[in-house]
Amino acid sequence: MCGLLRGSGKVMIMKLNKKDIILERKNKTVYKTDDAIIKVFAEGHPKTGVFNEALITAYVESYGVKAAKVLWVEEIDGKWAIATEFIPGKTLEQCMKDEPERMEEWLNKLVDIQLEVNGFKADGLRNTIDKRAEEIKALTDLDPSTLYELQQRLHGMKRHTKLCHGDFVPSNIILTEDGDYRVVDWSHATQGNAGADAALTYMSMSLTDPALAEKYLKLYSRKSNTAIQYVQKWLPIVAAGQLKKAKTEEETALLEKWISVAEYQ
């Protein structure tokens, strides 16, 4: 596969080799070059989606966040591709795997970076509430009563303007060699409630390591000086959004349990 690639204002021809593939999914293939990560979407992937991802990332860069920068968007052989800068280093997820004895340190890092990200004001990005509302509305299989309760719960949330990554998990944090970090994959970023962002992190962790998730939640609550309930009240909502993506029956059961809650009266 080859195409016209623009990097640093220069037009160049670049060949994407199979050997450079680092990830292959049904809807995308990810290549790594010397200085870029190139995500090539499957044919038919909406153009708006690609440009939107680039735009979101560009916004995030403009706030001054330590993010992997977007380099360009290009159509290559009828497929849309987006390139972001390659960050040399090790993901936090890898660190957790390699050095589990330092788990407390990694968890602290995770929370610290998240709070730093949440500290930015994300003017220009879509609001979390609107994004979640759309997700919930699409859950046509859910019984109407539960759906109604979820929508009502979401509608009662306050509209904040903090930068929320939307998938703030250890695999999206790269610790660089100089001791700094970069956060990658901003495609789900919104402006909104930091509690919602933490709820997403907690949920993702709960699906793989519930004990670690609990530790994370307590640490987040302490470091952000907010009550655990502040995060918890988002769980039915983020769980509903995750329902369609559940990989196992256990996951589905857990998410359904989380969703099936009543409002206090």
Partner 1 sequence: METEKKFEIVDSVEALEARMAEMRKAQAVFATYSQEQVDKIFKAAATAADKARIPLAKMAVEETGMGLVEDKVIKNHYAAEYIYNAYRDTKTCGVIEEDPVYGIKKIAEPIGLIAAVIPTTNPTSTAIFKCLICLKTRNAIIISPHPRAKNSTIAAAKLVLDAAVKAGAPEGIISWIDVPSLELTQTVMKDSDCILATGGPGMVRAAYSSGKPALGVGAGNTPVIIDSSADIKMAVNSIIHSKTFDNGMICASEQSVTVLNDIYDEVKAEFAYRGCYFLAPEEIEKVRKTIIINGALNAKIVGQSAYKIAALAGVEVPETAKVLIGEVTSVDISEEFAHEKLSPVLAMYRADSFEEALDKAEQLVRDGGYGHTASLYINTDEKEKMAAHADRMKTCRILVNTPSSQGGIGDLYNFKLLPSLTLGCGSYGGNSVSHNVGVLDLINIKTVAERRENMLWFRTPEKVYFKKGCMPVALDELGTIMHKKRAFIVTDSFLYKNGNTKPIEDKLDSMGIVHTCFADVQPDPTLKNALAGTAQMRAFEPDVIIALGGGSAMDAAKIMWVLYENPDADFSDMAMDFMDIRKRIYKYPEMGRKAYFVAIPTSSGTGSEVTPFAIITDSDAGIKYPLADYELLPDMAIVDTDNMMTQPKGLTSASGIDVMTHAIEAYVSIMASDFTDGTALKATKLVFDNLPTAYADGTNVAARDHMANASCLAGMAFANAFLGINHSLAHKLGAFHHIAHGVANALVLLYVIRYNAKEVPTKMGTFPQYQYPHALRRYCEIAEYNGIKGKDDNETLDLFIEKLRDLKHAIGIKDSIREYGVDEKYFFDTLDEMCEQAFNDQCTGANPRYPLISELKKIYTLAYYGEDDKKVDF
Q: Which residues bind partner 1 (CB under 8 A)?
A: 143-149, 151-153, 155-156, 227-229, 232-233, 235-236, 257-258, 260-265
Judge contact between 203 and 167, C-beta under 8 A.
no
Residue 152 Cβ, how far from partner 1 at the closest point, in Å?
Answer: 5
Long-range contacts of 247-255 (CB under 8 A, 24+ apart): 251/207, 254/206, 254/207
**CA–CA distance from 98 to each of 93, 103, 106, 202, 225 (Å)?**
9, 10, 11, 21, 30
Nearest by Cα to 172 from 91, 84, 116: 91
When the beta carbons of 79 and 160 are compared against partner 1, the nearer one is: 160
Task: Give me 167's structure tokens.
Answer: 């998938």
Nearest by Cα to 200 from 258, 137, 139: 258
Residue 261 Cβ, how far from partner 1 at the closest point, in Å?
Answer: 4
Residue 151 Cβ, how far from partner 1 at the closest point, in Å?
Answer: 4
Residue 66 Cβ, how far from partner 1 at the closest point, in Å?
Answer: 31
Q: How far apart are CA 51 and CA 72, in angstroms?
A: 10
When the beta carbons of 192 and 236 are compared against partner 1, the nearer one is: 236
Q: How far apart are CA 184 and CA 29, in angstroms?
A: 16
Residue 93 Cβ, how far from partner 1 at the closest point, in Å?
Answer: 24
3-class DSSP state for residue 93?
A: helix
When the beta carbons of 101 and 263 are compared against partner 1, the nearer one is: 263
Judge contact between 73 and 50, C-beta under 8 A.
yes
When the beta carbons of 108 and 152 are compared against partner 1, the nearer one is: 152
When the beta carbons of 59 and 258 are compared against partner 1, the nearer one is: 258
Residue 157 Cβ, how far from partner 1 at the closest point, in Å?
Answer: 8
When the beta carbons of 247 and 264 are compared against partner 1, the nearer one is: 264
